[in-house]
């Protein structure tokens, strides 16, 4: 069933109007939306974890962050390749590109915090805080094209400025991408559950163990 | 226990300890002067471009000084395990956090008192109340965020690496708005009032979020 | 244009690759731990 989801997704978009490079937008935008969804999962997981200390919530958050970073990377790279063709440069410091890069850095930081903190409660709490603060950037990225003047194309989907065939193709691609993201999160969640079990990360006994003295700095 | 009293007591303790040892402020002030110097060489500053480069150098120096100043906020506590002792009292963690953040900001402000005149001296830019106001307003929000993440990384390995990584992305709004504010205060194009109101908005937003989050970061 | 192909190649490779890598890792873990929970 998991494989079926991926197979449907590979169905190619049907048509285009401007230069062929414009087609990038189907996957590029879908990835961005999938990434936002993933980070929303991180946000919700983080909030729930801070309230009930549920390891499952933390696992969801973890999975969401990893998958989200993957999708953000795809968004950024596809965007850069499009930019080179259309603007002649791989990168510009406009509001949307910058805020998306910041988004990537924030969640890469999330993953680093997890790795460097004491596994278990500490890592989960800190990461939850980072994930919650980090989500502030998501609406910024989304609205960056309306709030500031940017080189990045403005919102065409919401403003209904797309011809129907493109819209249909896009919606279909977006649906498939979101499903793919959900599938990836589910798989990752399962992986994290197994890893947690093996390393017995959330055992309550760990919290009471005396801390070893830290090495002299 | 009255949270304000607690915060004040914690702040006073930190400030008193800094006064006795006098380590942070002089070292940071020296660092800032050096940063201005390096900026001068790195950007090949001359009398023509000084005014347009100065705001950027101000924020670069401030950001790095801020990382050092806030990074230290929880370092001493860790060594003496006094943070745990404080948390065992009925004092609210948010009050303790607020006290430390206030103390750290005052230390940074002391450094700003060195930086701004120096900037004016070296780069020939106006030293106005507008510039000072912008920097002070930004410091508040930056302090809250900086101290929050400093508390978080105090117990983590590779804390010097992680603190900038976590703090800088969230400081970017302050640098953008603050940069615009200082730029317009120094006579370059840009709306000062718009930038200041943005800074105040960010301050409020992050102060609220930080006080909500402080509990989870200190409570161990 | 080549960049278009490149972009989609990257996207598909990254996403597909990640998907397959995750599935492989999951299968490995389940084999070792026998999917207890």
More confident residue, C3 or B66: B66
Predicted pLDDT at A40: 92
In chain B, what percentage of residues exceed pLDDT 70? Answer: 96
Per CB-CB distance under 8 Å, the chain A contacts of C4 are 20-21, 23-24, 81, 85
Q: Kindly determine whether residue B165 and residue A112, on different chains, have CB atoms separated by under 8 Å.
A: yes
What average pLDDT does chain A have? 77
Alpha-helical (H) ranges within A55-147 are 55-86, 95-116, 121-134, 137-147
Residue range(s) defining the domain that contains residue A170: 23-197
CA distance B118 to A204: 54
B156, B172, B209: residue with CB nearest A133: B209
A117, A118, A129: residue with CB nearest B213: A129
Least confident of A37-41, A210-214, B37-41, B89-93: A210-214
Residue A79 in contact with residue A28, Cβ under 8 Å?
yes
Q: Kindly determine whether residue B162 and residue A116, on different chains, have CB atoms separated by under 8 Å.
A: yes
CA distance B154 to B81: 12
3-state secondary structure of B139: helix
CA distance B24 to B104: 10
| Tokens standing for residue C24 | 């492989």
CA distance A50 to B65: 32
**What confidence tier does A213 reach under pLDDT thresholds 50, 70, 90?**
low
**What confidence tier does A19 reach under pLDDT thresholds 50, 70, 90?**
low
Is pLDDT above 60 for C21?
Answer: yes
| Tokens standing for residue A8 | 């449907």
Is pLDDT above 90 for B47?
Answer: no
More confident residue, C23 or B145: B145
Nearest CA in chain C to A84: C3
What average pLDDT does chain B have? 84
Rg of chain A, C-alpha, whole Å: 20
Confirm whether A77 is domain-assigned: yes
Give A16→chain B minimum CA distance, Å.
37
Confirm whether A92 is domain-assigned: yes
A128, A130, A136: residue with CB nearest B166: A130
**What confidence tier does A7 reach under pLDDT thresholds 50, 70, 90?**
low
Confirm whether A121 is domain-assigned: yes
Q: Kindly determine whether residue A85 and residue C4, on different chains, have CB atoms separated by under 8 Å.
A: yes
The model's pLDDT over B143-182, given as tens digits with 9 standing for 90+, comes to: 999 998 888 887 777 777 888 888 888 898 899 888 888 8
Is pLDDT above 90 for A140?
Answer: no
Q: What are the domain boundaries of chain B?
A: 3-218
Confirm whether A149 is domain-assigned: yes
Predicted pLDDT at A66: 92
Nearest CA in chain A to B212: A129
Query: Chains A, B in contact: 3+ Cβ pairs under 8 A?
Result: yes
Predicted pLDDT at B143: 92
Nearest CA in chain B to A50: B216
CA distances from B29 to A120, B18, B62, B115 (A): 39, 14, 11, 7
* pTM (two decimals): 0.79
Nearest CA in chain C to A77: C7
Tell me which long-range contacts B131-134 makes (C-beta under 8 A, separation of at least 24): B131/B182, B131/B185, B131/B186, B133/B196, B134/B178, B134/B181, B134/B182, B134/B185, B134/B192, B134/B195, B134/B196, B134/B199
Is pLDDT above 90 for A69?
Answer: yes
The model's pLDDT over B200-213, given as tens digits with 9 standing for 90+, comes to: 988 998 999 888 88
Predicted pLDDT at A203: 53
A21, A23, A194: residue with CB nearest C30: A194
Q: Which of C2, C6, C7, C17 to mutate to test the interface with A (most CBs of A within 10 A)?
A: C7
Give every CB contact of residue B195 below 8 A, 6+ residues apart in sequence.
B134, B177, B178, B180, B181, B184
- Mean pLDDT value of segment A42-59: 87
Neighbour-count burial of B46, counting CB atoms closer than 10 A to its CB (0-12 exposed, 13-18 middle, 19+ buried): exposed
Question: Measured at the alpha carbon of residue B17, what is the angle toward residues B11 and B21, in degrees to the nearest 5?
Answer: 145
């Amino acid at each position: 069933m998991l494989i079926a989801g991926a197979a449907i997704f590979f169905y190619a978009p049907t048509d285009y109007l401007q230069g062929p490079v414009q087609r990038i937008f189907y996957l590029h935008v879908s990835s961005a939306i999938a990434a936002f969804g993933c980070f929303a999962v991180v946000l919700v997981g983080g909030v729930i974890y801070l309230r009930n200390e549920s390891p499952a919530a933390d696992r969801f958050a973890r999975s969401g962050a990893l998958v989200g970073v993957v999708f953000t990377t795809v968004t950024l790279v596809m965007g850069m390749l499009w930019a080179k063709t259309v603007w002649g440069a791989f990168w510009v410091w406009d509001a949307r590109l910058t805020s998306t890069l910041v988004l990537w850095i924030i969640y890469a930081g999330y993953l680093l915090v997890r790795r460097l903190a004491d596994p278990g409660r500490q890592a989960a709490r800190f990461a939850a805080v980072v994930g919650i603060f980090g989500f502030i950037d998501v609406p910024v990225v989304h609205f960056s094209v309306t709030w500031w003047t940017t080189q990045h194309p403005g919102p065409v989907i919401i403003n209904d400025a797309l011809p129907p065939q493109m819209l249909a193709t896009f919606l279909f691609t977006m649906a498939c991408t979101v499903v793919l993201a959900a599938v990836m999160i589910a798989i990752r969640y399962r992986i994290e559950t197994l890893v947690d079990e093996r390393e017995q990360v959330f055992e309550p006994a760990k919290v009471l163990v005396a801390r070893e003295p830290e090495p002299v700095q | 226990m009255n949270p304000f009293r607690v915060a004040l007591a914690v702040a006073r303790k930190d400030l008193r300890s800094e006064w006795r040892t006098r380590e942070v402020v002089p070292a940071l002030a020296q660092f800032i002067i050096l940063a201005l110097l390096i900026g001068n060489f790195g950007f090949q500053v001359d009398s023509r471009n000084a005014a347009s480069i100065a705001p950027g150098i101000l924020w670069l120096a401030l950001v790095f000084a801020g990382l050092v100043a806030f990074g230290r906020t929880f370092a001493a506590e860790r060594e003496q395990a006094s943070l745990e002792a404080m948390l065992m009292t009925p004092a609210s963690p948010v009050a303790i956090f607020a006290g430390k953040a206030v103390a750290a900001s005052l230390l940074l402000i002391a450094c700003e008192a060195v930086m701004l005149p120096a900037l004016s001296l070296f780069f020939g830019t106006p030293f106005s109340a507008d510039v000072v106001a912008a920097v002070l307003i930004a410091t508040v929000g930056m302090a809250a965020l900086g101290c929050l993440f400093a508390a978080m990384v105090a117990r983590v390995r590779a804390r010097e690496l992680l603190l900038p990584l976590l703090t800088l992305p969230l400081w970017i709004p302050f640098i953008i708005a603050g940069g615009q504010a200082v730029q317009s205060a120094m006579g370059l194009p840009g709306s000062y009032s718009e930038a200041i109101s943005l800074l105040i908005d960010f301050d409020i937003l992050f102060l609220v979020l930080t006080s909500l989050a402080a509990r989870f970061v200190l409570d161990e | 244009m080549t960049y278009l192909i490149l972009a989609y190649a990257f996207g598909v490779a990254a996403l597909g690759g990640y998907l397959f890598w995750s599935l492989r890792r999951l299968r490995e873990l389940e084999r070792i731990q026998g999917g207890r929970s």
